Amino acid sequence: MSLLLPGHRLELGPDAPLRLDCGVELAPLTIAYQTYGQLNADKSNAILICHALTGDQYVAETHPVTGKPGWWEALVGPGRILDTERYFLICANVLGGCMGTTGPASTNEATGQPWCQSFPVITIGDMVRAQLRLIDHLGIDQLFCVIGGSMGGMQVLEWAARHPQRVFAAIPIATAARHSAQNIAFAEVGRQAIMADPDWCGGDYPLHGRKPQGGLAVARMAAHITYLSEAALHRKFGRNLQGPELSWGFNADFQVESYLRHQGSTFVERFDANSYLYITRAMDYFDLAADHGGVLANAFRGTKVRFCVISFTSDWLFPTAESRAIVHALNSVAANVSFVEVESDKGHDAFLLDEPEFHATLSGFLDGAAEHRGLPRGAPR
Amino acid sequence: MSLLLPGHRLELGPDAPLRLDCGVELAPLTIAYQTYGQLNADKSNAILICHALTGDQYVAETHPVTGKPGWWEALVGPGRILDTERYFLICANVLGGCMGTTGPASTNEATGQPWCQSFPVITIGDMVRAQLRLIDHLGIDQLFCVIGGSMGGMQVLEWAARHPQRVFAAIPIATAARHSAQNIAFAEVGRQAIMADPDWCGGDYPLHGRKPQGGLAVARMAAHITYLSEAALHRKFGRNLQGPELSWGFNADFQVESYLRHQGSTFVERFDANSYLYITRAMDYFDLAADHGGVLANAFRGTKVRFCVISFTSDWLFPTAESRAIVHALNSVAANVSFVEVESDKGHDAFLLDEPEFHATLSGFLDGAAEHRGLPRGAPR
């Protein structure tokens, strides 16, 4: 599939392996990415956008598989919040993904076969390591900003913690410095749904021409509920029926059932089941405090990065308390941090939706940071 | 399996069919039930206990399949809140269940085969209709109390709304007058997990000697998360590892994963997958307001039943707002109602756990109601 996907590729050869947290040296490696806008002369206007679990690099264009608009298309463009006349935007498919960057569905050059379950378990840190290679390749010393929601926000935090000199400003949105027990639990349900599907074949489904679509669809359905809020589900669907009356059976009687089934069945067309396993695992393993002696503040000691931490009131997957823990850690090391809890009933998915207070927050913070960084409005010079 | 299960059976013959909400007349029919304590001379001391989705009639004794204590064993016994020296307790396995009462795993006498998916879709109202037959059989004109949590609470509400003259007091706990969009969504994920399992065989697995255990386990795991709270999961498990270190794989690295897998694998030993489908569907279909012209208060107009409505602060499956809606409806028809929101971080499952404020509430309400009903302490006379 990856050969047909549009966009840029960075190929890292066998001589430049990526040393992963698990100890494996991964090479060769492909990083698939998109860019928008132009890099300025001193390469100071680059914004790295980090995508979420099931997102990808097609931020602001028609998706090559689904034909739908890019997931942050509303934010990206001339004069928009992520202003393509001012900034150079980069988004790479994460390591372990299935949209062109090397992942479990990619071919292991050593065997000529897809990696499948022999692909090494990766971490958020490994994803960021791969992105760092890309940033190096593009000749960018310091990113003006790293921004992302959900798992994208974890990458933002990892960038700021591990590579603070490479980041001027960081915007972690609807995220956490670690995956909570409840989040691990939901991730595990999704993985069990996939692994219980006989078509998963112990992970070797590509070798048998099969796909664990039933299991992957169930995983997506369960996860999708966690992306919304009870209020949003009530507002969108309530107990509305799909047809004129109850079917007295197990069809999708209720609109919410039909919606969920649709979410499941369309997801399997664009996502690889093993990628789902690896990427959720990377989220589970993420624990920034544990990586820094058990104290989250240690991750940011001495940082000069400017932070804007954003959460949403109705997000119960990454609730405000998680953002507040990040802010407390940043405050305790006297970091430069803004924190906004946006009032919204849209749940976790609010970061992908039209939420005026959220957009105003982004806009205000970016404008201020850009001024400090000396980035003029208008076309890059 | 049902022949080996201990306890009482009420057999309703072909001459006494149960007219179901879907229009089907179901007969013959078995109702499996347990009792504790003694019915007094004027049959005024009976408490009907209604069990939840995956509960059963073994309220206060070693479970015949799992060997575990009864699910409300802490509440039942001489001198306890459900005092077996004062009250006569009854609990019947619900219609559609799999612990002796007729359900999809039972034999359809007309064909000699298990009902499977030809079993009619049932409702909470149908469950209560079956219970009413049992109460009639026992010669009880009026139950002193109907009590239950979660789906058991739905049955309590149905009893009070449809058969108010048969109920003196009602205690709906951690429940709602309708299944919300989010609850339907979670139920649908469970059903899809079961139906996606090839061993489900379109529901005919008993005819093929198979069981959709993988799908049923996933359904249970997803549901189980909703029974707890984030705080409870954090307190119990946090990010604690199962072994000394990360496995860098997809084993149960975290204790919460191991716990969930255990919940899934033990559940499939005691529960029938088709029963799970039918009973969750009955919950989805429950909407007491819709059954009464769209106005919940209509369900209780003129009621003389004394209500004690109980919710738990950290229950996000049946949040306090749902209980409050019931209380508002009862208040608007000047019903006799107490309402207690119990402070607890244990989530929905709090009604099954040792929660002192909850137990004190039950005890206080029952004592007051028993006094009004003229039920002396001590052995029934």
ipTM of the complex: 0.95
CB-based contact (8 Å) between A285 and chain B?
A: yes
- Tell me the CATH number at B99: 3.40.50.1820
- Which residues are paired to B9 by β-bridges? B32
Judge whether B68 lies within some domain.
Answer: yes
Contact A281/B221, CB-based, under 8 Å?
no
Q: Please tell me which of the candidates A198, A239, A277 has its beta carbon nearest to residue B250.
A: A277
Task: Report the pLDDT value the prediction gives residue B379, as an integer from 0 to 100.
Answer: 63
Q: Do both A24 and A149 map to the same domain?
A: yes
Which residues are registered as beta bridge partners of B149?
A: B173
Interatomic CA distance for residues A274 and A264, integer angstroms: 16
Average pLDDT value for residue range A146-150: 98
Same-domain check for residues A275 and A304? no
Residue A311 falls in the annotated catalytic set: no
In a domain, A379, yes or no: no
Does A192 share its domain with A81? no
- Residue A161 falls within a domain, yes or no? yes
Look up residue B321 and give its two tokens: 């707002």
Provide the pLDDT confidence category of residue A381 given band limits of 50, 70 and 90. low
- Which residues of chain B are within 8 Å of residue A246 when distances are taken between CB atoms? 285
CA distance B299 to chain A (A): 19
DSSP state of B52: -
Instruction: Say yes or no: A41 and A144 in one domain.
Output: yes
At A18, list the tokens.
Answer: 């990526």
Strand pairing category for B18-19 and B25-26: antiparallel
pLDDT recorded at residue B294: 96
Per the prediction, chain A carries an average pLDDT of 96
Query: Residue B172 domain-assigned?
Result: yes
pLDDT given for residue B27 in this prediction: 96
pLDDT tens digits for chain B (381 residues)? Answer: 445 799 999 999 999 999 999 999 999 999 999 999 999 999 999 999 999 999 999 999 999 999 999 999 999 999 999 999 999 999 999 999 999 999 999 999 999 999 999 999 999 999 999 999 999 999 999 999 999 999 999 999 999 999 999 999 999 999 999 999 999 999 999 999 999 999 999 999 999 999 999 999 999 999 999 999 999 999 999 999 999 999 999 999 999 999 999 999 999 999 999 999 999 999 999 999 999 999 999 999 999 999 999 999 999 999 999 999 999 999 999 999 999 999 999 999 999 999 999 999 999 999 999 999 999 887 665
Strand partners, A82: A76
Long-range contacts of A360-365 (CB under 8 A, 24+ apart): A361/A308, A361/A310, A362/A75, A362/A81, A362/A147, A362/A171, A362/A308, A362/A310, A363/A81, A365/A169, A365/A171, A365/A308, A365/A338
**Is A178 an interface residue toward B (CB < 8 Å)?**
yes
Give yes or no: residues A147 and A192 share one domain: no
Which of A280, A312, A331 terminates a domain? The answer is A280
Maximum CA extent, chain A: 66
Do A233 and B180 count as a contact with CB atoms less than 8 A apart?
yes
Inside any domain, residue B120:
yes
Please report residues of B whose CB lies closer than 8 A to that of A185. 221, 225, 233, 256-257, 260
Is B241 an interface residue toward A (CB < 8 Å)? no
- Residue-level pLDDT at A377: 81
Residues of B in contact with A214 (CB under 8 A): 196-197
The answer to whether residue A378 is domain-embedded is no
In this structure, the answer to whether residues A88 and A198 fall within a common structural domain is no
Q: One-letter amino acid identity for B247?
A: S
Pairing of strands B46-50, B18-19: unpaired
Whether residue B86 is contained in a domain is answered as yes
Let me know whether A347 and A211 are in one domain: no
Q: Do A215 and B234 touch (CB under 8 A)?
A: no
Question: Residue A185 and residue B253: Cβ atoms within 8 Å?
Answer: no
**β B25-26/B167-173 pair status:** unpaired
Q: Is the pTM of this model over 0.95?
A: yes
B349 touches chain A (CB under 8 A): no
Whether residue B142 lies within 8 A of chain A, CB to CB, comes out as no
Which residue bears the tokens 């049902």?
Answer: B2
| Range(s) of the domain holding residue B76 | 2-178+287-373
Whether A87 and A174 share a structural domain: yes
A301 in the same domain as A266: no
Question: Taking residues A63-76, what's their average pLDDT?
Answer: 96
Q: Which residues 6+ apart lie within 8 Å of A183 measured at CB?
A: A176, A283, A284, A317, A318
Nearest CB to A256 within list B185, B236, B249: B185
Domain count, chain B: 1
Domain boundary among A227, A246, A280: A280
Contact A221 B189 (CB under 8 A): yes
Give the span between the Cα atoms of B239 and B256, in whole angstroms.
Answer: 8
Amino acid identity at B165:
Q
Residue A315 is a catalytic residue: yes
Within-domain flag for B204: no
Structure tokens of A217?
Answer: 């669809």
Say whether pLDDT at A109 is over 80.
Answer: yes
Q: Can you say whether residue B135 is alpha, beta or left, with left for phi > 0 and alpha for psi between -120 and 50 degrees?
A: alpha
Q: Are residues A244 and A110 in the same domain?
A: no
- What is d(CA A368, CA A43) in angstroms, rounded to the nearest whole number? 19
User: Which chain A residue has its CA at the smallest distance from B197's CA?
Assistant: A197
B328 at the A interface (CB within 8 A)? no
Domain boundary among A280, A308, A337: A280
Question: Is A145 in the same domain as A211?
Answer: no
